[in-house]
Structure 1
Amino acid sequence: MNLDTVLTLFVLPHVVAGTVALALFWMAAVLQKGSPLHRRVGQGYLLAMLAIILTAIPLVILTWMRGHPVTAIFLGYLTLLIALTCRNAWCAIRFRRDPARFAGLDMQVLATTTGLAGIIVVIMGLTRQAWILVAFGMIGPLILLQLAKQRRARKRGQALASNWWLKEHYGAMIANGVATHIAFFQIGLMRLLPGLETALLQQMAWFGPLMIALLAGRWLDRRYSQWPRARQTGTS
């Protein structure tokens, strides 16, 4: 069995999981937040994302073995990024009363690994003038900066907003939504309609969801910015 044949064995479940995730993402988005149905759909979405991660791992390995190391490294980095955001989306709800557990060793290791992988992707992008790699790779260093900022805040015992878990949750879900939509527009739609595959549309497929996500994040931050600061990081 050659590599191309093995690759096809993982592509179909990966695509199916992505399709399910896209549908559940919008179902969760329109449902009343915090309702039982919203929670169930959200859990289903994260399970679909888990399936995407598990099927992506062999795809990354096979891509490397087929002689495409740059693509494999980039896809591996994106897989790490999705794993981190899925973990945070779930744990923000589960450990809403325990921010120290949310920022536990598993998150520290995964975030650090993702951040370092992002730096590698940025370097690859700069050396090849591949600006998509640079733009998305920069998320990695930003994760490292945020991690360092959180550590300093915990050491200083700075106040933690009472809705910290909500911001972590919707921030992670927005990031997951970016990944889901990029996969749909850049991979799924372009293959279904190859006539649309132009340089401009490819750029829009990558950066369009990212720009919308940034705007959505700012809007949500403003909406929930008035919550009281009730917890102390040093006592949690």
Structure 2
Amino acid sequence: MPLIHTLLVYTHILFGAVALVLFWLPVAAKKGSRLHRLVGRYYAWAMYAVALSALLSCLLVLIDPVGIRRPGLTLNAETAANVARGARMGGLFLLMLAVLTFASVRHGLLALRERQQPGVLRSTAHRGLLVALGVLGLVVTGIGLNFANVLLQIFGGISVVVSISMLRETRPQRLTATQRTIAHLGGLIGSGIGAHTAFFAFGGARFFADLLPGQWQTLAWVIAPAIGTVAIIRLNRRYRRAEQTAPVVGQHLGRSRPTSP
């Protein structure tokens, strides 16, 4: 089982690195262009692989925490219990992040399909996934409060908020073009936040250890979510303003158009 866990971790790292590179190409490309759609599809597949490999590796930790974290060692009962508790807490936290990533990518892709397949966002499977994310968020938040762990509290709360936000987007019988765009961008940018957070918190941990000692290491976890959240809010406002002003502009042009004799 430790070998399987190691292979899953390396798979996770490999596809995570690929996703980090692919994320920025659709962002820079013209929206709706062939490059945007093609690379965006590859990015989504890479992020699915990231999320699924993380989910499976976390499940292994939850099933056999001591065997995964301390393979081949004989521990006394107290030490084994402590190792198991810490491993399961970390495993549950990372499992929640895996579900958050998977749900964000799926929500963003389904939002695009909503135009041709109205109601696809309201499927039982997708809503169940979002509810599961919210429940995991509440559990992790509760654990964070119990152990005074700020990181668990922050990301548990984020997962609950994201779950509620996406569930609200599944309510309309038919989404407008603006609502579909916002749901698509929110989901895919949200998954990108997860990829960059993992990079800053894990891949860049050694680098940030020198710059951010002690409790300041928490900043490595919140830099990407903070920037990404601001970006999503600004995009939401931009598209909503465009939707609100479009009819007004159209009516004004209609009134100013000269009548035919």
TM-score range, shorter chain: 0.7 to 0.9
Q: Runs (4+) of structure 1 moved beyond 6 Å?
A: none
What number of residue pairs does the alignment pair up?
224
Pair 1:194–1:212, CA change in 2 (3 A): closer
Answering whether residue 204 of structure 2 is matched by residue 185 of structure 1, we say no
Answering whether residue 58 of structure 2 is matched by residue 60 of structure 1, we say yes
Distance in structure 2 (CA, Å) of the matches to 1:177 and 1:150: 20
The residue type paired with residue 52 of structure 1 is: V
Distance in structure 1 (CA, Å) of the matches to 2:221 and 2:120: 34
Question: What is the correspondence of 1:9-158 to structure 2 with a 5 Å cutoff?
Answer: 9-64=7-62, 65-66=64-65, 67=84, 68-143=87-162, 145-146=164-165, 149=168, 154=172
Distance in structure 1 (CA, Å) of the matches to 2:168 and 2:26: 31
Tell me the CA shift for residue 149 of structure 1.
4.5
Tell me the CA shift for residue 106 of structure 1.
1.6
User: Which stretch of the first structure deviates more once superposed, 140-149 or 65-74?
Assistant: 140-149
User: Which stretch of the first structure deviates more once superposed, 63-72 or 109-118?
Assistant: 63-72
Tell me the CA shift for residue 197 of structure 1.
6.3
Verify the 8 A CA contact 2:208 2:220 in the aligned structure 1: no
Kindly name which structure, 1 or 2, has the bigger radius of gyration based on alpha carbons: 2
Distance in structure 1 (CA, Å) of the matches to 2:166 and 2:201: 30
Tell me the CA shift for residue 119 of structure 1.
0.4
Pair 1:191–1:16, CA change in 2 (3 A): farther
Pair 1:195–1:150, CA change in 2 (3 A): closer
Identity %: 30
The residue type paired with residue 154 of structure 2 is: A
Q: TM-score, normalised by structure 2?
A: 0.77
Pair 1:39–1:196, CA change in 2 (3 A): same
Tell me the CA shift for residue 135 of structure 1.
1.1
Distance in structure 2 (CA, Å) of the matches to 1:181 and 1:163: 26
Verify the 8 A CA contact 1:46 1:86 in the aligned structure 2: yes
Pair 1:100–1:194, CA change in 2 (3 A): same
Distance in structure 2 (CA, Å) of the matches to 1:148 and 1:19: 30
The residue type paired with residue 195 of structure 2 is: T
Residue equivalent to 1:215: 230
Pair 1:222–1:150, CA change in 2 (3 A): closer
Residue equivalent to 1:171: 186
Aligned partner of residue 96 in structure 1, secondary structure: coil
Distance in structure 2 (CA, Å) of the matches to 1:111 and 1:165: 17
Unaligned runs of 5+ in 2: 66-83, 247-261
Higher relative contact order (CA 8 A, sep 6+): 1
Pair 1:160–1:58, CA change in 2 (3 A): closer
Q: TM-score, normalised by structure 1?
A: 0.85
Verify the 8 A CA contact 1:162 1:228 in the aligned structure 2: no
Distance in structure 2 (CA, Å) of the matches to 1:126 and 1:170: 32
